[in-house]
Structures are given as structure tokens and as C-alpha cells.
Amino acid sequence: MTVSCQASVCGRPGRAATGLAGGLSSVNSAWIERGLTSRQTHFLDLIVDFIAKNGWIRMQHLYKAPFTDRGLIDDFFTDEEIEELRVVFRTLRTRAEPADLAA
């Protein structure tokens, strides 16, 4: 699950997608070693799509459609895995802000 930033789309969503590649993919790599179910994979794909479209995500988004269409995040992931996502999302929002606004 790698998202790349092309030169023509490196606005806020582009920077977020680049951060996603480093953050969520590292979480995903650890989870792949443990084995992901098809439902978990689908849920992570929804997250990637949302971030690619919006540039960032908050945990509260995961408790609304389309994320809830097949169940709640709590049904797919452990509390520890959900906390890992929370940390990645926080980091992603920080990286998505332009440097002059982040200061």
C-alpha cells in the first residue's frame, strides 16, 4: 500500500500521501507479517482512499460511512492497532501542513 506524490499534485493532499507512505505503510508492514484479513485490508484501503482525496484523516471519520458500511473499526482491529493508526494519523496531519503554517 504505497502512495506516491507526483510533482503536479504536491499540494496538501500530495504531502499527506507522502507521509502516508511512510507512516501507514510501516504499520501495514507489521500487520502483514501478522496476517491481515480481507476485511482489514478493505478497511485500510478505504483509509488510503480517504487520505488521498482529503489529505488527512481523523479517528472520528472511521466511525462514519463509508468506514462503517461493513462494521466498526473495533470489529476489525485490536485496541493496540487502533492506537497505532491514531499515531500515524496525527503524524500525517502534521506532515500535511505546509512548513510555514506548521510553525
Query: Is 51 part of a structural domain of the chain?
Result: yes
Write out the residue range of the structural domain in which residue 89 sits.
11-95
Does 56 reside within a domain?
yes
Within a domain: residue 33? yes
**Domain count across the chain:** 1
Residue-wise pLDDT for 27-39, tens only, equals 556 666 678 888 9
Mean pLDDT of successive 10-residue segments in the chain (103 residues)?
33 45 57 79 90 88 94 93 89 70 52
Residue 1 lies in a domain: no
3-class secondary structure, 24: helix
Distance separating the N- and C-terminal Cα atoms of the chain: 30
User: Is position 6 within any domain?
Assistant: no
Residue 41 domain-assigned?
A: yes
What global pTM score does this model have? 0.65
Q: Is residue 101 in some structural domain?
A: no
94 contacts 15 by C-beta, under 8 angstroms: no
Three-state DSSP class for 33? Answer: helix
Give a yes or no: residue 2 inside a domain. no
